[in-house]
Structure 1
C-alpha cells in the first residue's frame, strides 16, 4: 500500500466515523436551527475532516469529492459551511500566513467574493501599521458557528486578505440574519465596517488588484455538492425502476465531470447535473405523495438545497447557459 493510499484510507475512515455520528442527529433541523447546525459542524470539525493541510496537496481533490458526497446528502447547510472553511484555510495556507497554525486551529469562515466585483466594495487606509476598513461585507455565513473570517479589501492599488474575529465590536456592526427559504440556520449576515481596525499581523496577503479573480481556478465543488444531493435523493426513492434509471444517469454525469478540466464543459455539465437532480427529486416527491412535504422528509429539503447550491457562484456564462437550456426545453415540447 502506498503512502497516498494509506492517507486516503485514513481520511475516509475519519469521514465515515463522523457520518455515523451525524446520522444520530435530527438532520432535518440543521437547516433551521443554528444550535443544531453548530453541533453538527463542531462534530465534523473535531473529527479532523476539514484539516486538508495534514495531507499531501495532490490528495485534496479526491478528499473534497468524498467530503461533499458524504455531507451533502445529510445536510446542505453543513456542506455549505464546509465550502467556507475549506476556502478560508486554503487562502491562509497558499499565502503562507505567518499565524497559519493559530488560525487553522479556529473555525474560520470567509467574506471575500466581493473582490471579484469591478468596483471597490471594501476600502482601507493604512495608519500607524494598521488598516482601517470601510464598506459592507455581504453574505457572511456562519455567525455563531465560525470564530473568525477571512475578509477582502482594497488599499492603495492592492487587494488584501486578512483574518478578523467574527463578532460585533467597534467598527464591525452585524446586520440581522438574512431570512431565506433554505439555510436559515447558517445565520448569514451583512457586516458594516466603519473605520474597523485590522492590525498588520492579521494580514494574510496582498496582491495587485484583480489577482483573486485571475487566480480563481476551475472548481468542481458545486458539482460535488449537487451530485451528493442526487445520491441522497436516489437513496430515498421507493420505485425501483425509477431508482435504477436515476442512479445510472447520475453516475454517468459524475463520470463526465470527474474526467474533465475544461471550464466550458464543466459549466454545461453543472446545468445537466442540476436539471437531472431536480427531476429525480421532483419525481420522487410525486411518487411518494403528499407526505413528501413534511419537514422530516428528505426530498423536500433536497429540493430547497439544490436551488441553494445552484445559485452559488453563478457567473454570466452560466446564466446564459441556463437561459439557453430553458428555451431549448420549451422548443422540445412543441
Structure 2
C-alpha cells in the first residue's frame, strides 16, 4: 500500500479520536458544534482527496465516510459537498481551482437534475446575471463559498461565489428540520446576481449532472459508514454477527459495481438493511433508546436524511416496487 495512503489513514484515525471527544449529541442541532467538527477534519486535510489518483480517491472516500459518519452524519453531509465541489473543479480543469481548494466550498446544484430551470442566467459584460431560487443550500456560516448550478440557453453551468448575503443574493429562510438542523440549510433568492466569467467552473449540455450522478457511490458510502456505527450499538451478539455479515456482503457488491441501475438497487438494499438493524437495535434496548442523548435514535433520523437526498423518480419507483414485492 502506498505511503501516502497509510499517512492519510493514520491522520484520519487521529481526527476520529479528536471528534470522539466532541459533544456529538449536540452536533446535529448546533451550527457552532458542527462547524468545530468540520474544521477539525478540514484543518487536518481530510477533504483533500484531489491530491490522489482517481482509484485511490474512491478507497479513501470509503475510509473517510466509514470514520466520520459514526460521529456525525451532518459532518459527513458537509464532507460530501466539499468533496463534490473539489472533484468538479478538478474534473473540469478549472483554472482557479488551486485558489478555491483553499476555501470551504459547498454546493447548490441538485436542482439541475429536476425538470425545468430553477436558476437561469443572462450574459452580460464580464459574466452572467443569475435569477431564480436556490433551495436546500447547506452549510451557511460553515462554508465560505458556494458552487451554484444554473441554465443558460441549452447549457448547464456551474459557478463559484461567496456564500453570504450581498447584492442580488438574499437568504430567504432557514427551514426547520427533524434532523441535521446544524447544517444551517437555507433557501436563497437570486435577483440579477452577478457572477464573473473567470469563476465559471463548467459548461455542459443540459442533463449532464443527472447522467453523472447516477453512477455516484457517495450516498452508498455514507450509508455504509452509518451501518458501521450502528453495529457498535447492537446489544445482541447473534444479531450483531448476522448484521455484520449482511453489511459486508452489500459492501462487496457495492465495490464491484459500476452500473447505474445496479447501484440504485444496492442503495435500496443498503437502506432497508440499516433500517432493520437500527430499528431492531432500538427495540432490544427498549424505551431508553428514544432518549435524546442516545445514539441509535440519531442514527435512525440520519438514515432518513441520507436516503432522502438526491432521489429521482426512478429510485422512488424502485423503493415502491421493492416494498410491494416483499409485503
TM-score, structure 2 as length reference: 0.97
The whole-number CA distance in structure 2 between the counterparts of 1:229 and 1:214 is 26
1:108 is aligned to 105
1:283 and 2:283 correspond: no
Distance 1:316 1:85, change over 3 A: same
Report the counterpart of residue 327 of structure 1 in structure 2.
324
Matched, 1:28 2:25: yes
Q: Following the alignment from structure 1 to structure 2, what is the Cα–Cα distance between the partners of residues 45 and 151?
A: 21
Q: What secondary structure does 2:160 align onto?
A: strand
Q: Structure 1 residue 6 and structure 2 residue 8: aligned?
A: no
Partners of 1:216 and 1:243 in 2: CA distance = 33
Return the TM-score normalized by structure 1.
0.95
Matched, 1:118 2:115: yes
Unaligned runs of 5+ in 1: none
1:215 positional shift: 3.6
- Aligned to 2:232, what secondary structure does the other structure show? helix
1:217, distance to aligned residue in structure 2 (A): 5.2
Tell me by how many angstroms 1:142 deviates.
0.3
Q: Which residue of 1 aligns with 2:45?
A: 48
| Structure 1 residue 210: Cα displacement | 2.7
Farther off after superposition, 81-90 or 264-273: 264-273
How much does 1:32 deviate?
Answer: 0.4
Local SS of the residue matching 1:289: helix
CA distance in 2, matches of 1:65, 1:217: 18
Deviates more, 1:161-170 or 1:120-129: 120-129
From the superposition, tell whether residues 318 and 213 of structure 1 become closer, same or farther in structure 2 (CA, over 3 Å): closer
Q: How far has the Cα of 1:6 moved from its partner?
A: 1.5
**Distance (whole Å) between structure 1 residues aligned to residue 56 and residue 295 of structure 2:** 31
Q: What stretches of structure 1 move > 3 A for 4+ residues in a row?
A: 214-217
* 1:231 matched residue in structure 2: 228
Instruction: Tell me, yes or no, if structure 1 residue 131 matches structure 2 residue 128.
Output: yes
CA distance 1:213–1:265, shift in 2 (3 Å): closer
Assess if the C-alpha contact under 8 Å between 2:173 and 2:188 holds in 1: no
Matched, 1:259 2:256: yes
> Separation in 2 of the partners of 1:291 and 1:68?
28
State which of 282, 294, 297 in structure 1 corresponds to 2:291.
Answer: 294
Distance 1:92-1:187 versus aligned 2 partners, 3 A rule: same
Shift of 1:208: 2.8
Deviation of residue 216 (structure 1)?
Answer: 3.5
1:1-334 map, 5 Å: 5-216=2-213, 218-330=215-327
Distance change in 2, residues 1:87/1:269 (3 Å):
same
2:109 and 2:148 in contact (8 A); partners too: yes
- Say what the alpha-carbon RMSD is for the aligned residues: 1.3
Q: Is the 8 A contact 2:149 2:159 kept in 1?
A: yes
Pick closer, same or farther for the CA change 1:217–1:316 going to 2, 3 Å: closer
Superimposed CA distance per residue, residues 71-120 of structure 1 (whole angstroms, 9 cap, x where no aligned partner): 11110100011110011111111111121111100000000122222312
Instruction: Assess if the C-alpha contact under 8 Å between 2:110 and 2:310 holds in 1.
Output: no
C-alpha offsets along residues 22-74 of structure 1, whole Å, 9 cap, x if unaligned? Answer: 00101111100000000000000011010012212221110111111111111
Give yes or no for contact 2:136–2:185 (8 Å, CA) kept in 1. yes
